[in-house]
Amino acid sequence: MSKDWMYVALTCLFELIWVFGFNTASTWWHWAIILVIIAIDFHFLSKACENLPTGTVYAIFAGIGTVGTTLMDVFIFGGEFSLAKGIFMVILVAGVIGLKLADNQHKEETDLKGVQ
């Protein structure tokens, strides 16, 4: 895995941590920690966007955040899971994968044009 994709993974992880913090924070110092985590998260997000397509990075960031937050709500905070939620999460993940594949295809086409 390249360093840039490691930044994408880290930004997704830190996003889930601060979202969890939003649901559990109860004192001022909890909120201070959350603000530091958000700052770290956006640092990793900006680092990921330096060499990867911003649209793809943000789609992955938002998609994993959405799916992760929904699953966290169900499994940790006692939220309800429904078939509709499951279907829409699958559609969201399929869209993110499709966007990533489309970016790879465009990069390959651009590389091939540069070789000729």
Contact 18, 38 (CB under 8 A): yes
Confidence category of residue 113, pLDDT binned at 50, 70, 90: low
74-103 exposure pattern, b = at least 16 Cβ within 10 A, e = fewer: eeeeeeeeeeebeeebeebeeebeebbeeb
Count of structural domains, the chain: 1
Q: Which residue has the higher pLDDT, 116 or 13?
A: 13
- Encode pLDDT of 30-64 as tens digits: 999 999 999 999 999 999 999 988 888 988 999 99
What pLDDT digit, counting tens, does each position of 72-109 carry?
999 999 999 999 999 999 999 998 888 878 877 766 66
Q: How many CB atoms lie within 10 A of CB 69?
A: 18
C-alpha–C-alpha distance, residues 75 and 69, integer Å: 10
The predicted model scores a pTM of 0.79
Position 55 scores a pLDDT of 86
Residue 92: domain span: 3-115
For the segment 19-39, what is each residue's pLDDT rounded down to a tens digit?
Answer: 999 999 999 999 999 999 999
11 burial type by CB count under 10 A (0-12 exposed, 13-18 middle, 19+ buried)? buried
